[in-house]
Amino acid sequence: MVSGDPGVGDSRDDAALLRDHAAGDRAAFGELFRRHRDRLWAVALRTTGDREDAADALQDALLSAYRAADRFRGDAAVTTWLHRIVVNACLDRLRRRQARPTVSLADTEPAPAPPPDRETVLVVRAALTELPVDQRAALVLVELEGYPVAEAAKILGVPVGTVKSRCARGRARLALLLGEPRNPSAPANVPSAGTAHARTEDRGE
């Protein structure tokens, strides 16, 4: 599968860079890193919800990719392969810690333009960190990074239906966390989305 966006001075696509790296080109992997670092950082940061965890996970992932490049079979895009390694590294780290990650915003580098709705960004970002890791990873890839569900399924290594389910349940749980009101006209004995919280917690993810 041909992919890649050559930067100025290097016209090789991603697959060629990875092949050349595996063949001994000591600069090729650096070009891959340069091309995709921002996107990989975004995925790692949004999945872990913590800068340090994101940096640690990315380091683990990139070193794994660097060492395992000769095992890349070419049956997926290089970016899919890289994202899979990064997401797995993030999820492994989160599962090992089994601690609730925090969002560190104090050291955010200033962006050229302010976010369109700062309060919404902070609230939603915090709510995302409350989700089970599998739901969070699916939502990050599909809703935030814009991957088609099929592509996200390849990255996560699960069926398409599983990605849809994780996204749907993640959205439902976010609705609770973001305080979506129930229908004020509903009878008192009719459960609202609020009771979903208890049920899904009981089931565990």
Using CB under 8 A as the binding rule, the residues of this chain from 175 to 194 that contact another protein are 175, 178, 180, 182-183, 185-186, 190-193
Cα–Cα distance measured from residue 136 to residue 169, given in angstroms and rounded to the nearest whole number? 10
Interface residue with another protein among 12, 15, 22, 30 (CB under 8 A) is 30
Cα–Cα distance measured from residue 108 to residue 177, given in angstroms and rounded to the nearest whole number? 24
The owner of tokens 């699960």 is 158
What is the rounded (10 degree) CA torsion for 80, 82, 84, 87? -130
Cα–Cα distance measured from residue 102 to residue 130, given in angstroms and rounded to the nearest whole number? 9
Q: Measured from the CB of residue 105, what is the shortest distance to another protein in angstroms? A: 10
99/111 with CB nearer another protein? 111
Using CB under 8 A as the binding rule, the residues of this chain from 114 to 153 that contact another protein are 115-117, 120-121, 123-125, 128, 139, 143-148, 151
91/173 with CB nearer another protein? 173
In terms of C-beta density within 10 A (0-12 exposed, 13-18 middle, 19 or more buried), how is residue 82 classed? Answer: buried
Cα–Cα distance measured from residue 45 to residue 152, given in angstroms and rounded to the nearest whole number? 17
Interface residue with another protein among 16, 40, 69, 85 (CB under 8 A) is 40
Q: Which two tokens stand for residue 109?
A: 């580098």
Residue 165 in contact with another protein, rule: CB under 8 A? yes
75/109 with CB nearer another protein? 109
Using CB under 8 A as the binding rule, the residues of this chain from 55 to 114 that contact another protein are 55, 58-59, 62-63, 66-67, 77, 79-80, 107-109, 111-113
Interface residue with another protein among 18, 19, 20, 29 (CB under 8 A) is 29
